[in-house]
Amino acid sequence: MLNRVILIGRLTRDPELRYTPSGVAVTQFTLAVDRPFTAQGGEREADFIPIVTWRQLAETCANYLRKGRLTAVEGRIQVRNYENNEGKRVYVTEVIADNVRFLESNRDNNGGAAPREESPFGGGSGGGNRGNSSGYSRNNQDPFSDEGKPIDISDDDLPF
């Protein structure tokens, strides 16, 4: 049996961080995911899928995610039910995320006005470029950008 889901969409609002009575962090947010087709009027429809994260991932999502940010979520679908105040049984379907990737940096979403946040997940373009106008950090420079010129490496640096 397999219960696995991968979604890419935009947050409809800022995540809500709460703590259980035992102190475990839980964050809830909704992801708007476009459908792969357009409606009769030519408009694109979307599904609004509730996402739940727990523990350290919940705190990280609450700190870094904001409304409108493009985000990838990987997890499993869970259906739970409870009895509401009127005595009716209510069913809730949600995705319990175990992996969240930030696909946009803060700069991408605000037109370059704010400094880029460091993403703790390293997903997408969320980290590593702070303060470097070339688009690459020192650690991420293309080692083959010298257009075929020999690379100066001493024999002591070679692993073999």
Residue 148 falls inside a structural domain = no
- pLDDT tens digits for range 29-74: 999 999 888 778 878 889 999 999 999 999 999 999 999 999 999 9
| Residue 118, domain extent | 5-126
What CATH number has the domain bearing residue 17? 2.40.50.140
Give the DSSP letter of residue 116: P
Residue 138 falls inside a structural domain = no
Residue 143 falls inside a structural domain = no
Give the mean model confidence (pLDDT) for residues 94-119. 66
H helical segments located in the chain: 55-64, 106-109
**Count of domains for the chain:** 1
Residue 11 falls inside a structural domain = yes
User: pTM of the full predicted structure?
Assistant: 0.64
Residue 156 falls inside a structural domain = no
